[in-house]
Amino acid sequence: MAKTAALGRGLGALLSEIDEAYQNELPSRAGVDELLLSKIRPNPYQPRKHFDPESLAELSESIKTYGLLQPIVVKEDIDGYVIIAGERRFRASKLAKLKTIKAILVSVSDEQMRQHALIENIQRDELNAIDLAQAYQELIDVHQLTHEQLSLTVHKSRTQITNTLRLLQLGDKGRKAILEGKISAGHAKIIVGLGEKEQALLIDSIMGQKLSVRDVEKMVKNMKTSDRLSPLSLESSLELDFKKLQSQLAKMGLKSSKKGSKLMIDFNDNDQIDAFLSTLLG
């Protein structure tokens, strides 16, 4: 728990510093710099890999019309600046063909920058399920946290963290489908335990037939039930037509009954068995 507390204090100090920078912003915009977009680069530790083009276009139009209402936060770098918070606003501003952007400068270490990028996105629910899972995993790996310790740090339930991390077991097609919004995290959590071929089959079904999470649950349940069937069970599910054979057996005085692909003959004594064999071997 010591690691969690230490991590929490570091992040708390960093978040407070950024909040203070916003709070100290005066109406005259004193303390807010106008920086060239060409001098700013994204945070290399940004966990968010996918930015929805339609959403960025909408934000870009808003910035064109009303301007950028909330500055981004950056730190000075050797050849310019690195974004700490506000990459989506940065991208939308570039899309709007702006030359400069309002920014607040703060002084933080690379480790703090990395932590803030992860925590900010997690706490603001801005990540898709795959990026969120990778952000959780990175925090766990870097700080050697348990799921319970991470839960206390990012204020998410341990169950939510564990279930989200399971999404990293998805195949490439599953990950891509989530990133592109073609399936939901709910769909993914159901199919994650299947093999890649089964995952691909269900993903195609979800997209092609617009299946709900409940529909997919039923399909996976049926698939698992089918996998558990023994060869005997599968054989018993076949329905064969024994009518002609049963008719011939009846002429020989033999009783018979059928069950799926099986025909059972009742013999009263050894004489009936001998007579049957004689007819069979002819």
Given pLDDT bands bounded at 50, 70 and 90, which one contains residue 40?
very high
Domains within the chain, CATH numbers bracketed? 2-126 (3.90.1530.30), 170-228 (no CATH), 238-281 (no CATH)
Q: Which residues pair with 40 in a beta bridge?
A: 81
| Residue 19: per-residue pLDDT | 52
**CA distance linking residue 123 with residue 57, whole number of Å:** 24
For 210-230, what is the HEC assignment? CCCHHHHHHHHHHHHHHHHCC
Picking from 24-28, 49-53, 75-79, 147-151, which range would have the lowest pLDDT averaged per residue? 24-28
Q: What is the mean pLDDT of residues 257-282?
A: 75
pLDDT band at 236 (very low <50, low <70, confident <90, very high): very low
- Which of 21-35, 153-167, 230-244, 248-262 is modeled with the greatest confidence? 153-167
Confirm if 105 and 25 have CB atoms less than 8 A apart: no
Q: With left for phi above 0 and alpha for psi between -120 and 50, is residue 125 left, alpha or beta?
A: left
The dihedral through the CA atoms of 6, 7, 8, 13 has a sign that is positive
Q: Which of 34, 76, 87, 120 is catalytic?
A: 87
Report the range of poorest mean pLDDT among 13-27, 193-207, 223-237, 242-256.
13-27
Whether 76 is a known active-site residue: answer: no
What is the C-alpha to C-alpha distance for residues 106 and 159, in angstroms, rounded to an integer?
35
Q: What percent of the chain has pLDDT over 90?
A: 5
Higher pLDDT pick, 246 / 17: 246
Higher pLDDT, 124 or 30: 124
Pairing of strands 72-77, 100-105: parallel
How far is Cα 69 from Cα 25, in angstroms, rounded to an integer? 12
* Percent share of the chain, pLDDT over 70: 75
Confidence (pLDDT) at 101 = 92
Closest CA to 129 of 48, 207, 57: 48
